[in-house]
Amino acid sequence: MEREQFKEAMSRWASGVTVVTTQVDGQRVGITASSLASVSADPPQILICVARKLFTHTAIERSGLFAVNILGTDQLAWGMRFAGMVPELNDRFAGIDLFQAVTGSPILPGVAAWLDCRLRHAYDGGDHTIFVGEVVAAGTTAECEPLLYFNRSWRQLERVPLQLPDTAR
């Protein structure tokens, strides 16, 4: 399997956009990520996948804590910021009025939802690690439109009802 062929195929998978954050030794770190999945409702657990080469990966391993901030379309600039698309910005958290829940991981205000987690498992996932976190606190904000990533572009939903095929009726 060619790497580029795989990446092209996976670019057709639409996903939500998150900012994964943690704090270690007093230093806040965060990255934009689209790999988020629910694992279990009892106990509440999620998984994220983080590239091994990133400092955020090391920080999650060391702290054993992380938060997932699920972005709405109003937070596109934060998605770009934490993806490293604003290289002149040294502190990705600058100017953001953060708060914390249980673990002390930074939580961004006004996001669609947030999940505050304690690391429970870490699995080898090739050039990534699959981190499973137990959700110890969560919250949502007012109704917002989800920020999506599809075919290597930022997207938003168009609120047009789908016509169901006759076979589905």
CATH of the domain at 54: 2.30.110.10
The structure's pTM equals 0.92
Indicate the number of domains in the chain. 1
Residue 71 belongs to domain spanning? 8-155
In a domain, 166, yes or no: no
In a domain, 22, yes or no: yes
In a domain, 163, yes or no: no
In a domain, 161, yes or no: no
DSSP for 94-105, please give it: TT---B--SS--
In a domain, 169, yes or no: no
In a domain, 1, yes or no: no
From first to last of the 169 residues of the chain, give the pLDDT tens digit: 899 999 999 999 999 999 999 999 999 999 999 999 999 999 999 999 999 999 999 999 999 999 999 999 999 999 999 999 998 999 999 999 999 999 999 999 999 999 999 999 999 999 999 999 999 999 998 788 999 999 999 999 888 888 888 876 5
Q: Chain-centre distance of CA 14, in angstroms?
A: 14
**Residue 74: which residues within 8 A CB-CB, separation 6 or more?**
110, 144, 145
In a domain, 52, yes or no: yes
